[in-house]
Structure 1
Amino acid sequence: MSLLAKAKKGNNQAFVKLLQDEKVKLYKMAYIYMKNENDALDVVQETVARAYANIQSIKEEQYFATWLMKILINTALEILRKNQKVLPMQERLPEQGQIYSYDEKLDLLHAIEQLDEKYKTVILLKYYRDLQTKEIADLLDCPEGTVKTNVHRGIGQLKKYLNKGGELYGEQY
């Protein structure tokens, strides 16, 4: 009997084993979206709770990682949308040691953080998670052409950002 089948029957240890291979990837992806450890951990925790509650909806074990990542992305975006309604009292200061000088090599992760969510998501899934265009389209429930367009536009925005010293200039996509 597969781990997924055991987890569907209520075996908590099987569910934990399924999560073991994914926990680091989940945290890293959550951190990229949330930009701080506490919020990233909250997203991972909420993702695990939602996955546990909906384990019956997944059909095949080979899609578990993709299914879990979809839950994480949706959870992170939902929390970010809720947090946008709260206006910060002051601008967030760079963490100690984080200096984005034009003379130094720009941090690619910082550049990716500047992208619109739709571009950031496809760039991370394609180049960070090494997913194929079809897999990303399935994960995001959108046409493959849209994924290809968003990857192309996201790369274009990254190039402009990196070439212009840290600001997104140029055409609006």
Structure 2
Amino acid sequence: MRGQKRQQNFSRRWHCSSASLNQELQDMEALALRGQNKSPEEANQMIQIQAWQEEVERSRQGQRDAESKLSYFETEVQKMRVEMAAMKRDAEHYSRQEHMELEKRYRELTDLLYYKQTQLEAMASEKAAAEFQLEKKVKRLQEAQQSLFCTLNRLRQKEVEFPATHLHLGKKTLK
């Protein structure tokens, strides 16, 4: 009894499957006949619809490609933004550090300039003092020379008055 029941279930299922397959086959044949019986206008419309569907599919594929490229470029732009921010931070750091170094160098040069200016003023004072001393010595030398010439002239005059007397002045013998 059990085996009979199984066979009945199988037959029923096969009949249903077979009936639905037969129905699908009939529907497809009817569709094919309708397709053959279509007017040229309907055939053109079908071709146009098929062309539009292909165009829509190409457009969708193009859109997917464009979205993929857009995503790639957005990622690249984000990477560049991060890199630029890092470069800006580095530039600000180096700029601040460079600025501090320049300020330090400026202070050093200013201090050196003040020192050199002080030295220059001291040298100018020393030069003026040396020039003053030189002028005094030159004046004394000139006075000594003049005094010597006067003395020599007087001695020459005395020699003329007293020719036999020889005066010794240092290394020279005056007559």
TM category (shorter chain) comes to under 0.3
TM-score (norm 2): 0.20
Determine which structure has the larger helix proportion and give its number.
2
Higher relative contact order (CA 8 A, sep 6+): 1
TM-score (norm 1): 0.21
Larger Rg: 2
